[in-house]
Every structure is written in C-alpha cells, then in structure tokens.
Amino acid sequence: MSNWNNESEAREQIKALVAEYYKDFKKTEQDKEFTPGDRISYASRVYDEKEMMALTDATLDFWLTTGRFSDQFEKEFANWIGAKYAHLVNSGSSANLIAFMALTAPELGDRQIKKGDEVITVACGFPTTVTPAIQYGAVPVFVDVTVPQYNIDVAQLEAALSPKTKAVMIAHTLGNPFDLKHVREFCNKHNLWLVEDNCDALGTKYTIDGETRFSGTWGDIGTSSFYPPHHMTMGEGGCVYTNNPELHRLILSFRDWGRDCICPSGQDNFCKHRFDGQYGELPVGYDHKYVYSHFGYNLKVTDMQAAVGCEQLKKFPSFIERRRYNWDRLRKNLEEVSDKIILPEPAENSEPSWFGFLISVREDSGLDRNKVTKYIEEHNVQTRLLFSGNLIKHPCFDQIRGTDAYRVIGELKNTDFIMSHTFWVGVYPGMTDEKIDYMAKVIKEAVNQ
C-alpha cells in the first residue's frame, strides 16, 4: 500500500518525481556543452521540468480531450496577445483551415466567401496558407514578394483586385511582418477580410499610426502554430484568434463539428434552450447539441498539449528576446560577406520575433545555392529552404496548372529567385553564442570556397 494520504498529495509526489527525472536525464541533454562540429538544428524545443510536470498533471486528470488546461491557455494567450477570443486547435494548418472556413459562413451575408470568389495571397510560403481556399473552391490570386523582406509586394495589390475579391490571406515570413499598414488600409478600402497567418511570427510587434500591437491582431483573424520548431510548442497544436464576436462564434462552430450549440465540452444545456428550438427543417425541440449549422470538423486540442503550452507561455517573452539576440548576432557576423549574399532586413515599423535567418545567394556572385547549403550541411549545420519557394511549381498544381482555379499577377520574378537562391538557418532560443558564431563561420566558408 502507498503512503499517500489523499489524491492531492499523491499527485504532488508524482510530479516531484517527474521533476527529478528531468534533472537527472533531460536537463543534461539540453545543457551539453557545444563542440564545433556538433549538429546544430534549425529549431528545437526549449523546456524544463515545469512542462513535464504540467503534462503529468494533465495525464493524471485523464480527461484526454479539451479541458481545464485548454481553457486556461486560451484565456492567458488571448490576454497576452491582445485578442478578445482565442481558440486552440490541433495544428497551425488546422488554424488556417478554420480561419478560412469561418469566412465561408452564410451568416456573413455579402461578405461570405463563396466558391469562385478570390483570395489574394503569395506563392512563396507554406502551402497550408493557400490549401483551404483551393480545397473549398475559392480562387487564390498569387502576388510576388520583395527581397530582402520576403513578404508580399504591396504595390501589386490593386492589380490583384477584382469584383470577386473577398479576402487577403498571407503569412508573415519567418518572423518578419508584411506591410500591415498598407495591407490593412487596402482591405479597409475594399471591404475585404484580412487573415494573418502568424504561425512563423508569434511575438512580432508592428506599429501603425503610433499604435503598437502583436502581429496576428491587426487582421480580422490571426493563426498560430505550436509545432516543436515554432516559437513555443505543445508538440502539435495551433490557435485561432479574433476580436470579432461573430467570427469567434463561427470559429468555434467550424472547429467543433459545425455544431450550432455553444455548450462547453462536458456540459449540457448551457444555453438553457436545449429542447425548445426549431432549426432548419428539423422538428421543434430537436436536441440542440446535435444541430449542425455548418459543415465543420473536429480539430480540438488535447488537454495534455495545452498543459505544456501553459508553461511555455510563461517562458515565451524570454524566447522572443533570445531569438532577436541570436538573429542580430548572426547578421553582424555575416556582414563581411554581404557582397556575396543578401542579408535579411526587418520590415519598417516592426520589431520581429524571428523564426529563422534568411540568406539569398546573389545572382552575380557566381555561387550555386545548392552547393552552398551542401557545404553547410556537411559541417553539421541544418538548413531549410523558404518552404515551397514557388508553390505553383509543385506537383500538387499539376492537375490545375493553367486553369482558372487560380490567378497569377505578373511573373513572380522574386518568388522564382527565392526558389533558386534562398535558404535559411535557425535562431531558436536554445542556441548559444558558440553555436551562432560557428554557424556564421561555416556560412562564410561556404560562400568563400
């Protein structure tokens, strides 16, 4: 028999053992001294015993689905980022799906996105910013980007506009925000929705007319990802946030099976009208818990994931500062080879929370991007390309290439340049000065070889 007097005491002892386990086995992995030549990943989790204890706490609840930790995270995250409503989902890609699908709801009247309507976006980025529109039957309109900001070229927005345009849905690139002032004004002028894919820029600040906010809160809807390489992690996980109460309700509906009911998970008759309504062509009094107002999904997060997120959120401000420090240190180190590579520049009026450090090989340098990255990888520094490079060149477009399923504005010259000349390395908060300096040394060797 155990020596526990009650469940609370048992829980605390179990969590204390988990903390000891972390200190004996996991902490040593994270604190291992760097030796030049050791593998440097572009990203990694940064955590301590607190996350493992919170995960254990949630596991002992054995609630498994969305619960108290999810509620806690949503409230604390919304308060931190400055949004009225925040809703956890199971990934950043699901966050983008829900953000887009909420805008297809008939409740939005003339602003509802219907099949055949257009959404302005870019081809240089991650596919799941665009995928929901294509799968739904909307038409993405691809605009070029600028270098060295690697974000949408706002000078092309008016050319992309048509009578069918309903929204702009674009991502902030590796922490660097797009020109939010220009894009927000464009959307206001033409009564368009703005969805900020904030998955790679959580913690970035942007100032418009003297007002500073976090990226993701200037648009109608913002999205985030908590995948392990991202700014903070739950393992898998994402979030959709808004200040619009109507979009808030729609986001919840599409996330939770498309239901009309707003009862929290595990609660019945929250609205006190479970059996007295009439919906669609259903009989009067049909159980409101099983009334579906939209074709939705089940994309909720588990409470175990949310428990990890609650602890990560406490550390998050320090993560942001370290990312900025690492990015600045790396850029200063690489200034001496700026005649051969294009170094990234932050957007005006911004304070980025960097996800990575973008490098483009100059066309007149005589260098080959693939040879450069091959050298860097051979010296145990992990590299990544800027995701799809040019999404419309990928096999997923084979069956729709050249059709009216999408439109392209201009020639996407910078997008193609990035596809062939650009790569990036990490600046995640677990990187030490020694790792940053070693990366810089290897990159300089790669471009000087």
- Give CA–CA dist 187/42, Å, rounded: 35
**What is the CA angle 147-150-153, rounded to 5?**
80
Look-up of token digits 């593998």: 39
Cβ–Cβ under 8 Å, residues 215 and 172: yes
d(CA 14, CA 26): 17
> CB–CB of 383/424 below 8 Å?
yes
- Look up residue 350 and give its amino acid: S
Q: Of 355, 385, 381, which Cα lies nearest the Cα of 370?
A: 385
Q: How far apart are CA 187 and CA 223, in angstroms?
A: 18
The answer to whether the beta carbons of residues 248 and 221 sit under 8 Å apart is no
State how far the Cα of 231 lies from the Cα of 312, in Å rounded to an integer.
10
For 292, phi then psi, to 5°, come to -115, 115
Can you read off the two tokens belonging to residue 287?
A: 């159980």
CA distance 276 to 266: 20
Query: Is residue 230 flagged as an active site residue?
Result: yes
CA neighbor of 83 nearest in space, from 197, 310, 243, 212: 243
Report the C-alpha gap between 449 and 446 in whole angstroms: 6
Q: How far apart are CA 110 and CA 284, in angstroms?
A: 29
Token output for 16: 């204390």
Separation of alpha carbons 174 and 418, rounded Å: 14
The pair of structure tokens assigned to 59 is 């596991």
**Contact at 8 Å (CB) between 298 and 63?**
no
Task: Please state, in angstroms and as integers, the Cα–Cα distance from residue 235 to each residue in 134, 230, 331, following that order.
Answer: 27, 10, 29
Q: What are phi and psi of 194, to 5 degrees?
A: -120, 120
What is the Cα–Cα distance from 340 to 415, expressed in whole angstroms?
19
Considering 230, 231, 248, 288, which one is annotated as catalytic? 230
In angstroms, what CA-CA distances link 61 with 27, 28, 293, 305, 391?
Answer: 26, 29, 32, 13, 43
Query: How many whole angstroms from its chain centre is CA 449?
Result: 36
CA dist 102 and 247 (Å) reads 7
Provide the annotated active-site residues: 230
